[in-house]
Amino acid sequence: MGELVSRERIQELPLNGRNALTLAAVVPGVTNIINPPTVQTQSRGGAGLAISGGRDTQNEFRFDGTSWKNITQNTSLNLPSPDALQEFQILTSSPSAEYGRNSGGIVISVTRSGSNQFHGALWDYFRNTALNARNYFTRYPTKKPTLKQNQFGGSFGGPILRNKLFVFGSYQGTRIRQSQIVSPAFIPIAAQRSGFFGATTVLKNPIHGGFYTGGQVNPADFDPVAIKMLNTFVPTSPAGAGVVQLVALCSQRYEHESSELGGTGDPYFQPRFVE
């Protein structure tokens, strides 16, 4: 039992990041699609699927008849670009004996092939900081995190020998340049930096015992190392008390570059019967 994700679905349904495996969500019984990456940057990456209640590491992935997965984690490698993919099928239960290696679901994908007519396509999908909405935690006047992403390429297919031999090839390049948000936090206001936490706040004195009066910590009790770290690494709050403010924006930009090249040659042999 299972369902086929056809060429029409792959071509027409929207994809964030152009990872076709995201469309597994349309198959009944497939849940918890884990981390389908735009760019697979390390061996432990790759998408995982929970199929018919199984774990995401119990599935088998086939690509043009070959096992297509990260051996250490048993998660899928990225499929080719949607323009190079013909279809994929997910078997959710009761697979045949040829797929008897794993206890989970079976994901079978195949590439496109050439035909008797020449067909081609070019594309460039573009994302830019100027076009992006502001992150909730990066309120004005904080700068928006940088994100410049290009996914570009082309595909071409046609006959070499009409009705006999066909060829199809594709290329996709991905370039991502972005900065990242470190973490949100509550930033202390100027009064808190000077040791005042509110007249009604009860503060225990860990050095001399008892309590501080009026919610005011004696500045003489401040640790000079802690004060140095506070002034060096924790910025002041520009918007007052109780506002969630970014700790920092990474000054380092993260750049990912990947190129994907694929091709198929498909001979067709017509059987001849001799009486």
Instruction: Map out the domains of the chain with their CATH numbers.
Output: 2-111 (2.170.130.10), 119-182+250-267 (no CATH), 188-234 (no CATH)
Mean pLDDT throughout 146-173? Answer: 88
Helix (H) or strand (E) holding 8: helix 7-12
Q: β-strands 211-212, 203-204: how paired? A: antiparallel
| pLDDT beyond 50 at 247 | no
The residue with greater pLDDT, 87 or 259, is: 87
> How much of the chain, in percent, has pLDDT values that exceed 70?
77
In this prediction, residue 163 has a pLDDT band, given cuts at 50, 70 and 90, of confident
The residue with greater pLDDT, 113 or 183, is: 113
Identify the pLDDT of residue 124.
92
**pTM, rounded to two decimals:** 0.65
Q: Residues 189, 169: contact at Cβ < 8 Å?
A: no
28 three-class SS: coil
191 three-class SS: helix
pLDDT in tens, 197-215: 888 888 888 888 889 888 8
Phi, psi of 178 (to 5 degrees): -150, 155
CA distance 40 to 46: 6
In this prediction, residue 190 has a pLDDT band, given cuts at 50, 70 and 90, of confident
The residue with greater pLDDT, 208 or 102, is: 208
Q: Residues 219, 135: contact at Cβ < 8 Å?
A: no
Q: β-strands 106-111, 60-63: how paired? A: parallel
